Structure formats: C-alpha cells, structure tokens
C-alpha cells in the first residue's frame, strides 16, 4: 500500500480511536466544543487521506484541535509541513489559548444593529482606568492571558459606541482606539503578525472616527511597529514621516514615538546617522511630555526608554560592542517587575555579545533570558533568541555552541 502516516495512526490509537471513522467523528466533536463552532467537521474521507501517502496540511483551526487532542502539532503527526508555518505559541503546560488565536478578528466584527441602550458618561473613565491596569498586567503576564480579556472589553466598547451620543461617544471612540492598539500589541508580542496587523488597522479606523489627531498619529506608529517586525524599513519610515509631517500640534509623546520608531526603520535600511539623529531629537522632547492620556506612555514608564531603542537599533546594525555597553546600562535600571521587557533586553544583549565575538558571555546572558522566555511565552523573546542562535553559528561545533543549544532547549522544545 506504500508509505502510510504511521505517526497519526499511532496518535489516534493512543487516545482510543480504533478506526479512522471513529477518529474523524471524535475530532469533529472535540473541535466543535473547543472552538465553539458547531460547523467544525472533519470527514472520514479527510482522515483517510491524512493517514495515507499524501497527508497534506490541515487548516489552522484543525491544527489547533489536533494539538489539543494529541499534544502534538501537525509536523509531529506526519503531515507535510509547508514553508512559513509558525506554530501558535503554547502555554508551558501545553494548553493553547485557542479561541483567541483561531478567531483573532471576531471581537472587532460585531454584527449590528444592536439594541439601543443608555450609556452613562462615567463609563468613559471606567474604561480609561482599566487600561492602565491592563498595561501593568501585560508587563507581569505576557500576552496570552490578556488577549481574551482586552478583546472582550473592546467588543463591549464597540457596542456602546453604537448607542452613545456627543462627547460620550467621542470619549468611547478614543478609549476604543487605545484598547484596539493594546490587542494589536498583544498579538504582536504573541508572534501572530497577521492578527496584529488586523488590529492595528482597527486602531487606525477608530482613531480616525474619533477625529483625535494625537490618536491618529499613535495609530500610524502602531502600524509602523508591525512593519518593523516584518523587516520593512522603508515602510516604517513612510508611516513615521506621515506622522511627523503633521506634528506641529501633536503631543510631544506622539512625536517621540514616531521619531524612535523611524529610527528602527533607519536601522533596517543601514543608516546609523539617521538612527542617532532621530533618537537624539526624541530625547530633546522627553522633558516636555506632560499629558494625562492613558495610552502611549512607554516613554514615561520604561526606564532608559530611548537608550533601549538605540541599543536595539545598534544591534540590528551589527554594532555589537556599542549595543552591548548600552544594554549593560539599560538593564541596571529595569525593575524586577518588568519581567518580559527584561527578558527581551537580555536576549538582545546576548546577541550583541556574540556579534562582539564574546560567545561565552552571550551564553551566560542567554541563560537568564531563557528562564523568562519559558515563563512568559513571549514570541518576541523567542524570536530574539532565534536571532542569537543565528549569530552564534560560527561556534556551532565548539563546546560553547553545544552549551548554547543546551541552554535554548527549553524554548526550542516548548515553542
């Protein structure tokens, strides 16, 4: 009969599905409950193909259901892995934050019209105050445990906007833009750039509807962040220049955000002079940040905010020694509470050490970063550690290279 997919067959037998028909029926029932989708279905014919010579590749939703049943992703179940597949981030214990990953767009696509309701003006303050708590929780928890909560609150704001009038409506639109931006950031931190880009688009739409020029600028910087993660330096610069062209009346913090993000774009295009010029100019505005808006406050909340950006840009430019000494200064000021940020910075510092040809120091720093990566499940941190692995390739066969592989094993196995 030729080659069969024995890995999937063995997995179904382990959970007690003796026949392929039974497996198709069992997986369909499990998926309907897991995804809260009564139409989810895997036919016996599909399952027979999966156990045959050409199993193909299951849709993303099905991959999540298979993982929930068997504790393995499709590539470990004998499926043919396509180029560009990035498995969804998992909880350390193997459970997936499933519905949020599968239906990343649902909370923003509430079908209307909805029944009119009274909207008390106090709700605007309520949502703004909650936002500060979410920002703090993100520092402690990382993205996975917050995506569902913040998405649900955005959906409630969207529903209330449809009934609200006048200034209350404007206030809710402004709050909605800030919530959408946070959902976009959480997806970006979780490594789902498609969902992040979608939510950045929602942020921009709500910002434009609010007519608030500061929020519109903020939403464009949010779009530029995704472009940075996509490695599109010119796209980053385009978006940030669009903000800065209109910057005369903008709050200093929005201008700072646009300048530092444009510096990231410049680092992606290899322009060190522009990196320093933009970050220095942003530094000149820091003392003027005095608004009381709840969003976009990283420049006030993050110790050494601009030097973090400069060090990151230097790392991209391959300036190992310069980046390394900046990271050493920055890390001295990071509070113990900012676990996720600390982990990202440590991973970047380790890469800088490797670029400066100090592999032993790189491994020593990576050890601390991995501990935090396993705990927070931040995809950004894992991506930084993957960059470290690439920069450490010259030492791949040396003892220090084997040490690094051992240090990174918990991340590579758990991701």
Q: How confident is the model at residue 33 (pLDDT cuts 50, 70, 90)?
A: confident
Q: Can you tell me the distance from the alpha carbon of 336 to that of 357, in angstroms, rounded to the nearest whole number? A: 29
Q: How confident is the model at residue 95 (pLDDT cuts 50, 70, 90)?
A: very low
The per-residue pLDDT for 303 is: 82
The per-residue pLDDT for 153 is: 92
The per-residue pLDDT for 103 is: 66
DSSP string, 78-143: T--PPTT--PPP--TTS---HHHHHTTTGGG---S--------THHHHHHHHHHHHHHHHHHHH-S
Other Cβ atoms less than 10 A from the Cβ of 149: the count is: 15
Angle between helices 305-316 and 320-332 (to 10 degrees): 160
The rounded mean pLDDT for the chain is 88
The answer, yes or no, to whether residue 415 has pLDDT greater than 80, is no
pLDDT, mean of residues 229-255? 93
> Which residue in the block uniquely carries the two structure tokens 């599968």?
102
Residues 6+ apart with CB under 8 A from 410: 370, 374
CA–CA distances in Å: residue 376 to residues 189, 283, 404, 410: 10, 30, 20, 13
The answer, yes or no, to whether residue 378 has pLDDT greater than 80, is no
60 φ/ψ sector (left φ>0, alpha ψ -120 to 50, else beta): alpha
The per-residue pLDDT for 88 is: 58
As a whole-number percent, the residues of the chain with pLDDT over 70 amount to 93
Tell me the pLDDT tens digit for each residue of 379-402: 888 889 999 999 999 998 999 999
The answer, yes or no, to whether residue 2 has pLDDT greater than 50, is no
Tokens of residue 62, six digits: 């099905």
Tell me the pLDDT tens digit for each residue of 343-366: 999 999 999 999 999 999 999 999
- With 0.75 as the threshold, say if the pTM is over it: no
Tell me the pLDDT tens digit for each residue of 43-58: 999 999 999 888 888 8
* Range with top average pLDDT, 273-282, 326-335, 403-412: 273-282
The per-residue pLDDT for 87 is: 60
pLDDT, mean of residues 174-185? 95
56 φ/ψ sector (left φ>0, alpha ψ -120 to 50, else beta): left
Q: Can you tell me the distance from the alpha carbon of 165 to that of 172, in angstroms, rounded to the nearest whole number? A: 10
The per-residue pLDDT for 86 is: 59
The per-residue pLDDT for 220 is: 97
CA–CA distances in Å: residue 367 to residues 85, 92, 141: 27, 18, 20
The per-residue pLDDT for 382 is: 86
The per-residue pLDDT for 92 is: 37
The per-residue pLDDT for 169 is: 96
Lowest mean pLDDT among 97-101, 120-124, 208-212, 323-327: 97-101
The per-residue pLDDT for 74 is: 85
Segment holding 328, helix H or strand E: helix 320-332
Lowest mean pLDDT among 75-89, 116-130, 212-226: 75-89
Helix (H, G, I), strand (E, B) or coil at 163: coil
The per-residue pLDDT for 7 is: 87
Q: Can you tell me the distance from the alpha carbon of 129 to that of 188, in angstroms, rounded to the nearest whole number? A: 23
Q: Can you tell me the distance from the alpha carbon of 203 to that of 219, in angstroms, rounded to the nearest whole number? A: 6
Among 198, 190, 193, CA closest to 89: 190
Whether 216 contacts 257, CB under 8 Å: no
Q: How confident is the model at residue 307 (pLDDT cuts 50, 70, 90)?
A: very high
């Amino acid at each position: 009969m030729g080659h069969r997919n024995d890995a999937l067959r063995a997995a179904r037998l382990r959970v007690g599905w003796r026949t392929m028909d039974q497996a198709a029926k069992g997986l369909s029932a499990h998926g309907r409950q897991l995804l809260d989708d009564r139409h989810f279905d895997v036919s016996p014919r599909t399952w027979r193909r999966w156990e045959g010579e050409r199993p193909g590749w299951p849709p993303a939703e099905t991959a999540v259901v298979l993982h929930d049943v068997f504790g393995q992703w499709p590539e470990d179940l004998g499926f043919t892995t396509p180029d560009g597949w990035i498995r969804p981030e998992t909880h350390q214990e193997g459970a997936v934050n499933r519905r949020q990953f599968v239906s990343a767009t649902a909370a923003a696509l509430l079908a209307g019209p909805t029944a009119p309701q009274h909207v008390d003006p106090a709700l605007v303050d309520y949502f703004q105050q909650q936002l500060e708590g979410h920002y703090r929780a993100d520092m402690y928890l990382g993205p996975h445990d917050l995506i569902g909560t913040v998405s649900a609150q955005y959906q409630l704001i969207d529903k209330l906007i449809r009934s609200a009038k006048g200034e209350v409506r404007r206030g809710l639109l402004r709050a909605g833009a800030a919530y959408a931006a946070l959902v976009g950031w959480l997806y970006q931190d979780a490594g789902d750039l498609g969902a992040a880009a979608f939510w950045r688009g929602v942020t921009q739409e709500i910002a434009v509807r609010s007519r608030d020029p500061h929020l519109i600028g903020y939403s464009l910087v949010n779009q530029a962040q995704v472009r940075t993660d996509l490695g599109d330096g010119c796209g980053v610069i385009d978006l940030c220049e669009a903000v800065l062209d209109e910057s005369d009346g903008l709050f200093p913090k929005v201008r700072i955000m646009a300048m530092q993000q444009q510096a990231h774009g410049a680092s992606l295009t290899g322009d060190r002079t522009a990196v320093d010029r933009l970050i220095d100019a942003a530094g000149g505005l820091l003392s003027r940040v005095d608004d009381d808006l709840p969003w976009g406050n990283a420049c006030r909340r993050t110790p050494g905010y601009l030097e973090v950006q400069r060090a990151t840009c230097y790392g991209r430019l391959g300036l190992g020694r310069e980046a390394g000494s900046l990271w050493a200064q920055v890390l001295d000021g990071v509070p113990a509470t900012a676990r996720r940020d600390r982990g990202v910075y440590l991973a970047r510092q380790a890469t800088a050490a490797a670029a400066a040809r100090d592999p032993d120091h790189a491994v020593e720093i990576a050890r601390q970063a991995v501990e935090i990566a396993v705990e927070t499940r931040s995809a950004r941190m894992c991506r930084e550690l993957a960059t470290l692995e690439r920069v450490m390739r010259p030492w791949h066969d040396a003892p220090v290279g084997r040490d690094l592989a051992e240090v990174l094993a918990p991340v590579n196995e758990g991701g």
